[in-house]
Amino acid sequence: MSLDKSKTLKGNLDHAIDLFQKGAHEEAHNIFRDLIVIAPQTEMAWSGLGAVLRKLQKYDAAVTAQKHAHNLAPNSLSIKSNLVNALNNAGRHSEALPLAQKNFLANKGDVSFVKAYVKCLKGNCQAELAVEIVDAFVAEFGNDAELAVDVSLARLYLGQFTKGFEDFEQRFESGEVALNKKIEAKRWRGEDLGGKDVLVFKEQGFGDNIWFSRFLPALHREAGVVHMATQRPLLRLMSKFNGIDKLLEMNQINLDDYDYVLPICSLPKATKFSDKAPKPSPQPLNIPDDSRKRARTMLGRYKDVKKVGIVWTGSLTYKSNHLRSVDIKRFLKLAEIPNVQLISLYKGDAIEDLKTSGAEGIILDACSTDRDFADTAAIIDELDLLITTDTGVVHVAANMGKPVWNMVTYEGFWMYGAGTRTPWYPSMRIFRQPAEFDWDSVFETIEMELRDFVAN
């Protein structure tokens, strides 16, 4: 679908906006694209193009379009807001911050500007100010579920676990996490779990399910029966977890058997985890004998060199994956280090990067044919070190106590705080971007450290 010649310019613009609001993003994109060709001074066409490009996850192009709109209408509040949102999605938080602050100060009672400003502050590692801004807004204007979820990550980053996990519970009301109606009807909402039969339900990514599982023993001490439902790729790996009476695959669930369904990311709240409470230890992972045999067969020929696992990208469906991922070619410099064999632990569509980069063979593909995470864990157990972007594999390796060098963005992730170590995973070192998008410095440091690691 493109321009309708029977419609006026405004008619086509309204039609494109209507398509966008109905979720027909590709069709809306085509109309906005053609509108800026025939009417390049139409700011709403540029802004509409930017908005639809955001939905299509083409974030840098979205920024460019919104900047055109902003140049044409610098005083438009909606366009300024759209530009900040596009910059935030593109990870350009420092660039967005001055405009977001200006919008916020001029519209303190408008929650949308508070949200945008808080995202900028978090992206610029100003968690304390983000919390201060939200607390002041809530005191004056009341709670907003989406804002509470946004600031919960800033609170957790600061170690404010009691309030942080309390705010994080609003992810259901905010619409960030949606459950089907039957599960939602039985979802735990703060009720006493003493003696109750509870189904702990998988939520979010594989890494989240592994990390949050450390709270299962505390739940089991209180509840009557604890069953856990998770994804098939995690079943064998999780089969020896403490605090579970029965581990189920998703299609084995009978909700009538339970008093409550507890999404796994609600475990800290349900077990009353607080700011100064001892941090629970990671769960023991199960690595079956057949997985170990497979891993030893695959990696046995490399016994005389340092076996270094790598991962360069995570799930391609994760909306911020473009920020945490790196070009696989960056690892080729590490492959030049004598007595090092790089081993890919990636499984997914981006395995084609090995071929297109020319790295196939130089970097051994060990995991693209893995049956599940138990196979991956067996490979990890044969390694000397894992160097990776922040993906689910990080949690498997760190749970096992293997040396992990975790490369994170400037903003990072709440679990890792601001330092180079995290109390949640003693074997992990954090290599953080010193500035937005600065992977060069990270890899320069990694190369020096790896040379020292091999020498010693």
Answer yes or no: same fold for 9-174 and 181-270.
no
9-174 has which fold? 1.25.40
For 372-414, how does the pLDDT look when each residue is reduced to its tens digit (9 = 90+)? 999 999 999 999 999 999 999 999 999 999 999 999 999 999 9
Measure the CA–CA gap between 165 and 433, rounded to whole angstroms.
Answer: 27
Average pLDDT for residues 257-261, to the nearest whole number?
97
CA 197 to chain centre: 31
Output the average pLDDT for the chain: 95
pLDDT at 119 over 70: yes
Domain chopping of the chain, boundaries: 9-174, 181-270, 289-455
Four-way CATH pick for 289-455: 3.40.50.880, 3.40.50.2000, 3.40.50.300, 3.30.2270.10: 3.40.50.2000
Measure the CA–CA gap between 282 and 270, rounded to whole angstroms.
Answer: 18
Q: DSSP assignment, residue 278?
A: P
One DSSP character per residue, 218-240 reads HHHHHSSEEEEEE-GGGTTTTTT
Higher pLDDT, 5 or 95: 95
For 5-28, how does the pLDDT look when each residue is reduced to its tens digit (9 = 90+)? 778 889 999 999 999 999 999 999
pLDDT at 395: 96
Domain 181-270 of CATH type 1.20.1250: no
pLDDT at 1: 56
For 134-147, how does the pLDDT look when each residue is reduced to its tens digit (9 = 90+)? 999 999 999 999 99
CA–CA distance from 90 to each of 53, 93, 353 (Å)?
A: 11, 8, 22
